[in-house]
Structures are given as structure tokens and as C-alpha cells.
Amino acid sequence: GNSVTQMEGPVTLSEEAFLTINCTYTATGYPSLFWYVQYPGEGLQLLLKATKADDKGSNKGFEATYRKETTSFHLEKGSVQVSDSAVYFCALTGGGNKLTFGTGTQLKVEL
Amino acid sequence: DAGVIQSPRHEVTEMGQEVTLRCKPISGHDYLFWYRQTMMRGLELLIYFNNNVPIDDSGMPEDRFSAKMPNASFSTLKIQPSEPRDSAVYFCASSPWGGSQGLNTEAFFGQGTRLTVV
């Protein structure tokens, strides 16, 4: 079946540091890949997505590239802010709208 | 659209009581999902519907849990009887159909119901 593996947290960074959160997946066919973000006390919101190999999703300074050869979709941001502190989930859909999520990675950004 | 609306936001109940969580999906969305989030198990898919029909309920933990979608604008998740280990945040999400090409689309989440069973 489909599965998503992402790095364990928490990840603690200083403001303006570079961020990478690793995500790899296992899926049959050609899944769509997503990053969702969850701020404290809220539901998940879509951060970015990519629907085919070599696509790059981007939003709010975050980027991730769909790498089929390495089955990866790593999240990056060049300069994080305190307001980016949240839990980040990598996810995929394959064969329909059913989402499979990773376990989430908590990011803490300090001044 | 106001987004996915869940009620109540918080629920505290005693063990053995019946609990009903409610969800109003985004109008026009064909899929509705119920998730449970806990520190121990993360985000788990409990059940999802397509056009009001349950498609996959393999994530429902046991017979105490049931979900219904009587129409396109309303769904319930019921726990009877409730137990302390059911304490979690329950999310409802909806998504539109991906089209004839089967292009997968994203889900839109409600703000969740925090359930505490004491």
C-alpha cells in the first residue's frame, strides 16, 4: 500500500536559517504529493503540491520538487521566520482522493 | 464559502456516554473524510465518503464508532459508548472530484473537534 516517511522532529532553528524537512514515499502508479501545515489549535492547510515528476510546488517561500527517481518530496525554505513554527505533514494521493499522511514534523523557530 | 465547518469545537464527556461529532463540507465537494489525531498515533484516516456513500471504513477502530452522511452537506461521527482512549482531535475534511483524468486534488480541513473522555 501507499506510505509516507518523513523525518522526526522537533526541528529547532534560528530565524533566517535554512530549512529542509525530508519526505520519501512508497506508492504504486503516479501519486500527487502534498505538504500540509498545521498551526497550533488549527486544522491542516495545504502549503504546496506537485502532481507529476519534476514538478516544483512553491508557496510562501517554501518549495518542494517531486523526484520520482528517489521517491522524495523534500520541503525547503531559504530563510525561516518565527511565524513558520508549526507541524508540517507530507502526504500523497494515489488512485483517487484518499490522502496518506506522514507522521508530521514539528518545526520551532527561535529568535 | 466558509470552509469545512465542524461542531462542537470542544467536547468533554464521561466514559460510557454517546458522543456525536458533526461536519458540514464545502459545497460541491464530492469527498468527505474523517481523521483522528493523537500524539501517539499521529493522523489516522477513519472513514471516507464519495457522493455520500462510504468507500473505505477500514480505519474505524471498532464497532463503537459509526459514521453517516445522509446528504451532501452533512456528516456525523458517533462514538457509543465513549472511552478515555477515544480522547483525540477529530478532523473532517472535504475535497472536490479530480475530474475525468483522475487528477488528485487537495483536501480542505475543518478546525477539528477536541474530544476529552473522562
Higher pLDDT, A98 or A72: A72
pLDDT interval class at A60 (50, 70, 90): very high
For chain A, give the longest Cα–Cα distance.
Answer: 43
As a whole number of angstroms, the distance between CA A45 and CA A36 comes to 5
pLDDT interval class at B29 (50, 70, 90): very high
pLDDT interval class at B101 (50, 70, 90): low
pLDDT confidence of residue B62: 86
Lowest mean per-residue pLDDT among A43-57, B31-45, B92-106: B92-106
State the average pLDDT over residues B79-106: 84
State the average pLDDT over residues B99-109: 70
Share of chain B above pLDDT 90, in %: 81
Report the gap between the CA of A32 and the closest CA in chain B (Å): 6
State the average pLDDT over residues B79-98: 93
Q: CB atoms < 10 A from the CB of A110, how many?
A: 11
Q: CB atoms < 10 A from the CB of A87, how many?
A: 20
As a whole number of angstroms, the distance between CA A68 and CA A72 comes to 7
- Under a CB-based contact definition with an 8 Å cutoff, are residues B14 and B118 in contact? yes
Report the gap between the CA of B107 and the closest CA in chain A (Å): 8
Chain length of chain B: 118
Best of A44, A66, A90, A103 to disrupt the B interface (most B CBs within 10 Å) is A44
Q: CB atoms < 10 A from the CB of B35, how many?
A: 26
pLDDT interval class at B102 (50, 70, 90): low
A11-40: per-residue pLDDT in tens? Answer: 999 999 999 999 999 988 788 899 999 998
Residue numbers in B near A28 (CB within 8 A): none
Instruction: Please judge whether B103 and A104 are an interchain contact, meaning their C-beta atoms are less than 8 angstroms apart.
Output: no
Q: Kindly report the backbone phi and psi dihedral angles of residue A84, in degrees, each rounded to the nearest multiple of 5, phi listed first.
A: -85, -5
Strand ranges for chain A from DSSP E: 3-6, 11-14, 19-21, 23-26, 32-38, 44-50, 56-59, 62-65, 75-77, 86-93, 99-101, 105-110
Instruction: Report the chain B residue with the minimal C-alpha distance to residue A97.
Output: B104
pLDDT interval class at A97 (50, 70, 90): confident
Residue numbers in A near B55 (CB within 8 A): 98
Instruction: Please judge whether B91 and A43 are an interchain contact, meaning their C-beta atoms are less than 8 angstroms apart.
Output: yes
As a whole number of angstroms, the distance between CA A26 and CA A68 comes to 10
Q: CB atoms < 10 A from the CB of B58, how many?
A: 7
Cα B5–chain centre separation: 11
Instruction: Please judge whether A51 and B104 are an interchain contact, meaning their C-beta atoms are less than 8 angstroms apart.
Output: yes
